[in-house]
Structure 1
Amino acid sequence: MSDIPHSPPEPRAQPQSAANPQIPRTGRNGRGLAHELVSAFTGKLRSGAIKPGERLPTESEIMQAFGVSRGVVREALSRLGAAGLVQTLHGIGTFALESSPQSRFQIESPSLDGLADMLDVLELRASLESDAAGLAAMRRTDEQLREMRNALEDFGRHLTTVGDTVAPDFRFHLAISQAAGNRYYGELMGQLGLAVIPRTRVSSSWLDIERRTEHLQKVNQEHQDIYAAIERRDPEAARAAMRIHLVNSRERQRKAYAADAR
């Protein structure tokens, strides 16, 4: 495997290269930027411009090159990993894998708009992720369990602050899907991306820090229940805990939209 030399200048002057495909400056939000970053790297990975075994730029290098946040970069890398295009080795880097045929089934995150769409996606997730959680309880490795634990700890650090809880929330659900032992669960979650986390779809209802904290504490407890069932390898409890969590998420989403509309 060969390293890719990379010394990015200022974002506006950044030249395009195989390992550093340029994305347009469209003023999109974080979800749109992550989608564009995934598309840019996917094109280079599938075309062979970035060859299997080559190391991608670091998170910091991608942030500087494209002028995006660390959360955007992490979502993009998570989605590339879920699609089987890259592999991240902690403490070493992210490497290109052999390209596989593109899945015919895709749900584009930017297309999710409005309460009805979000509720439909949560209904879909309740079915798929409940089964994924049950399978993860039977098939997960210790390393996959640690990834779930790390995501929960990141989430917990921001329960009473204005820090980012969306990225670790997504990482927790993605880790469970990837632990199911069926790559299509992980690929589907990777395609959906951060936009499936309901908190990305509300605005004024999150201005009240007390309501936000209360909400996040409920979500955190539900996550802990899911994790505990997977840790003790109890598939029925894991399925039930995941379904309860996502059914509750649908109800919380309804209330958040109602508050946002007032």
Structure 2
Amino acid sequence: MQTSPLRRPRTLAQGLVEQLSAQIRDGRLAPHTKLPTEGQVMQAYGVSRTVVREALSRLQAAGLVATRHGIGTFVVGPGAEPAFSLGPRQLETLRDVIAVLELRLGVETEAAGLAAQRRTADNLAVMRAALDEFADAVEAGRDAVAPDARFHGEIARATQNTHFSALMATFGARIIPRARLESQGDADGASVPPGPVDPSRRAYLRRVNAEHESIFDAIARQDADGARAAMRTHLVNSRERRRRSAAGEMG
């Protein structure tokens, strides 16, 4: 695996995605090649575990790599299509976004329960960092999509069931819709006015992250039923906000 410095202004994760994608597309990483471990990638590129996991999730979503439970992550190769994908065409309308939220209700509610039973200290650390980054971004008036997606993705990984994490990786950050229709989506797809984070929107996003905190607390104390209930409440709230938006009401 050849490396070169990851430069800003793009994110470190995107820079890593671009480097690995280029190596896959030009054949330096051939199909069926096993990728280095997370630790090896961290050392080679000088990035954190969170950056590596986000980059691998994006590569999985693009169908360039696939993870085999207990074995590792392997190159699939350019041009391969994932069995399931969630792209712009699947999120063209509010009805589409509501349908995805219904799917998330089924998948992520159970994932939260399993995560509460199986999470590791590392899983909790990644979740905690994502929630803190979300809060910092909102207070600074910045987009909080990336930490939001990372929080939900880490819950899937905390199930220790690669089918959950692979499905969430296939969704990618598109599972958190933004600026899709006539208004910009919030951190969980609810309709909010586009533009900078004004005081009203900041208060709203604080409530969204408070729902995240409830999920995290239940997972941290290994309360499986509580985690399922908190995740279900969180996603039902998002779905209902979308439904009100679809009916022409305020988000």
Q: Compute the TM-score of the two structures, normalised by the length of structure 1.
A: 0.67
Among 196, 204, 210, which residue is 1:215 paired with? 204
| 1:109, distance to aligned residue in structure 2 (A) | 2.4
Question: Bigger CA drift: 191-200 or 203-212?
Answer: 203-212
Partner Cα distance (1:242, 1:55) in 2: 32
Spell out, residue by residue over 1:97-129, the C-alpha distance to the aligned partner (whole angstroms, 9 max, x if none): 434797853123222211011000000001100
Counterpart residue type for residue 106 of structure 1: F
Aligned to 1:234: 223
Q: Give the alignment of 1:180-199 within 5 angstroms.
A: 180-199=159-178
| 1:211, distance to aligned residue in structure 2 (A) | 2.8
Aligned to 1:6: 4
Matched, 1:166 2:149: no
Q: Cα–Cα, structure 1 residues 260 and 49, in superposed 2: closer, same or farther, change >3 Å?
A: farther
Aligned to 2:242: 253
Aligned to 1:47: 30
Matched, 1:106 2:84: yes
Matched, 1:130 2:106: no
Q: Does structure 1 conserve the Cα–Cα contact (< 8 Å) formed by 2:111 and 2:156?
A: yes
Q: Does structure 2 conserve the Cα–Cα contact (< 8 Å) formed by 1:177 and 1:186?
A: yes
Q: Does structure 2 conserve the Cα–Cα contact (< 8 Å) formed by 1:140 and 1:180?
A: yes
Unaligned 5+ segments in structure 2 are 185-191
Q: Does structure 2 conserve the Cα–Cα contact (< 8 Å) formed by 1:158 and 1:164?
A: yes
Partner Cα distance (1:84, 1:147) in 2: 24
Among 66, 74, 79, which residue is 2:58 paired with? 79
| 1:159, distance to aligned residue in structure 2 (A) | 2.3
Provide the alpha-carbon RMSD of the alignment: 4.1
Identity score, percent: 37
Q: Does structure 2 conserve the Cα–Cα contact (< 8 Å) formed by 1:109 and 1:193?
A: no
| 1:163, distance to aligned residue in structure 2 (A) | 1.1
Aligned to 1:13: none
Aligned to 1:63: none
Give the number of equivalent residue pairs: 219
Q: Does structure 2 conserve the Cα–Cα contact (< 8 Å) formed by 1:198 and 1:249?
A: no
